[in-house]
């Protein structure tokens, strides 16, 4: 890709690394007008990449790079265009927090280095420039291609990865990223965190917490056990005040409360309430026999 100014003046290296500062050399740091030209190059590269990938809008531009913590590897051919140089293409990478599915369908939270945009000028493709640029990035980042995540890779990029790095078996994702099988196998356990999907039926408690409550309630005698229907609640002065939120409501044992003494429902023969009723009945009989009516 040619420009109406000297590319070699902007980019001193064959492959220059740019970040949010848009500084490619000592000259561009000292001369603001050179940074304006660098911004022009990035904007035109972003437009060409979006057109090649049939994207509705560019995902790479100077303004985007200035507000994102990404790195852009820009490659030039300094000898072309009568010594003024041409831009061959670019590769943009950056770290992103992703929720990916492994082969078993388990959600994994990870923050890998991602390939975000990759473009080689059409008239310069199939000359080995793309492989050279990609290998330079791998060396600079000290990362294997299988440990990268790829954002919306084009069919050309997928074919490129299969041909040069034997990356063929990808794990289907619900987002636009592509990760390959060995991404989950080779990555250290400390870099992966399994994420449990929230379930509407168990909010705001986990299954383990709810099962513990159920087990505890099963061990209590009637009427201290929770009712079978989840929509019914036991109203009693012996119950604790409900806590904030929607915590499970529990009933405290209160065996001498008079509210239960005259309950006509069938009681368990070994329940504390039945013992309390029997004691009171015995006392009442004794008093009547002694003439204390």
Superfamily of domain 15-139: Gcn5-related N-acetyltransferase (GNAT) (3.40.630.30)
Note whether 43 and 61 are within 8 A (CB).
yes
- Binned at pLDDT 50, 70 and 90, residue 286 comes out as low
128 belongs to an annotated ligand binding site: yes
- Higher-pLDDT residue of 205 and 228 is 228
Alpha-carbon gap, residue 62 to 72, rounded angstroms: 10
pLDDT of 16 over the 90 cut: yes
121 belongs to an annotated ligand binding site: yes
Q: Within 10 Å of residue 247's Cβ, how many Cβ atoms?
A: 12
Dihedral of alpha carbons 243, 248, 251, 253, sign: negative
Residue-range domain boundaries for the chain:
15-139
Alpha-carbon gap, residue 60 to 30, rounded angstroms: 24
5 belongs to an annotated ligand binding site: no
Which H or E run includes 99? strand 98-101
Note whether 97 and 175 are within 8 A (CB).
no
Q: What is the pLDDT of residues 156-205, one digit of tens each?
A: 999 999 999 999 999 989 899 999 999 988 775 556 666 654 443 333 33
194 belongs to an annotated ligand binding site: no
Alpha-carbon gap, residue 87 to 135, rounded angstroms: 18
What's the pLDDT at 105? 87
Mean pLDDT score of the chain: 76
Find the mean pLDDT for residues 207-230.
48
118 belongs to an annotated ligand binding site: yes
What's the pLDDT at 251? 43
CA-CA-CA-CA dihedral for 164, 170, 174, 175, to nearest 10: -10
85 belongs to an annotated ligand binding site: no
Q: What is the pLDDT of residues 69-97, one digit of tens each?
A: 899 999 999 888 888 899 999 999 999 99
What's the pLDDT at 221? 54
89 belongs to an annotated ligand binding site: no
Peptide bond before residue 121 is cis, with ω within 30 degrees of 0: no
Which H or E run includes 150? strand 149-151
- Binned at pLDDT 50, 70 and 90, residue 32 comes out as confident
126 belongs to an annotated ligand binding site: yes
Find the mean pLDDT for residues 23-52.
85
Find the mean pLDDT for residues 232-247.
41
What is the separation, in whole angstroms, between the first and last Cα of the chain? 113
283 belongs to an annotated ligand binding site: no
130 belongs to an annotated ligand binding site: yes
Alpha-carbon gap, residue 72 to 118, rounded angstroms: 10
122 belongs to an annotated ligand binding site: yes
Note whether 225 and 252 are within 8 A (CB).
no
The CA-based angle 62-118-67, given to 5 degrees, is: 30
Strand pairing class (149-151; 113-120): parallel
What's the pLDDT at 150? 97
Q: Which pTM does this prediction carry?
A: 0.65
Note whether 286 and 267 are within 8 A (CB).
no
Q: Residue 70: phi, psi to the nearest 5?
A: -115, 165
Note whether 48 and 59 are within 8 A (CB).
no
Q: What is the pLDDT of residues 126-158, one digit of tens each?
A: 999 999 999 999 999 999 999 999 999 999 999
101 belongs to an annotated ligand binding site: no
Which among 29, 32, 58, 33 has a CA at the least distance from the CA of 45?
58
């Amino acid at each position: 890709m040619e420009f109406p100014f000297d590319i070699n003046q902007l980019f001193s290296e064959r492959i220059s690394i740019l970040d949010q500062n848009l500084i490619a050399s000592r000259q561009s740091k000292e001369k603001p007008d050179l940074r304006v030209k660098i911004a022009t190059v990035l904007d035109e590269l972003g437009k060409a990449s979006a057109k090649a990938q049939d994207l509705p809008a560019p995902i790479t531009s100077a303004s985007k790079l200035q507000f994102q913590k990404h790195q852009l590897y820009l490659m030039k051919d300094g000898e072309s265009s009568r010594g003024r140089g041409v831009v061959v293409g670019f590769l943009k990478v950056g770290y992103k927090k992703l929720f990916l599915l492994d082969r078993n369908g388990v959600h994994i939270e990870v923050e890998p280095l991602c390939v975000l945009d990759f473009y080689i000028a059409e008239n310069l493709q199939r000359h080995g420039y793309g492989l050279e640029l990609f290998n330079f990035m791998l060396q600079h980042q000290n990362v294997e291609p299988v440990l990268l995540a790829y954002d919306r890779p084009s069919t050309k990029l997928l074919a490129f990865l299969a041909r040069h790095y034997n990356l063929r078996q990808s794990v289907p994702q619900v987002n636009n990223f592509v990760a390959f099988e060995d991404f989950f196998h080779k990555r250290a356990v400390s870099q992966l965190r399994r994420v449990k999907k929230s379930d509407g039926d168990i909010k705001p408690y986990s299954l383990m917490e709810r099962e513990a409550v159920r087990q505890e309630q099963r061990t209590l005698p009637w009427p201290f056990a929770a009712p079978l229907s989840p929509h019914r609640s036991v109203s009693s002065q012996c119950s604790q005040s409900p806590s904030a939120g929607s915590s499970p409501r529990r009933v405290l044992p209160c065996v001498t409360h008079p509210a239960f003494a005259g309950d006509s429902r069938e009681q368990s023969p070994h329940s504390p309430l039945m013992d309390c009723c029997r004691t009171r009945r015995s006392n009442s009989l004794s008093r009547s026999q002694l003439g204390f009516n």
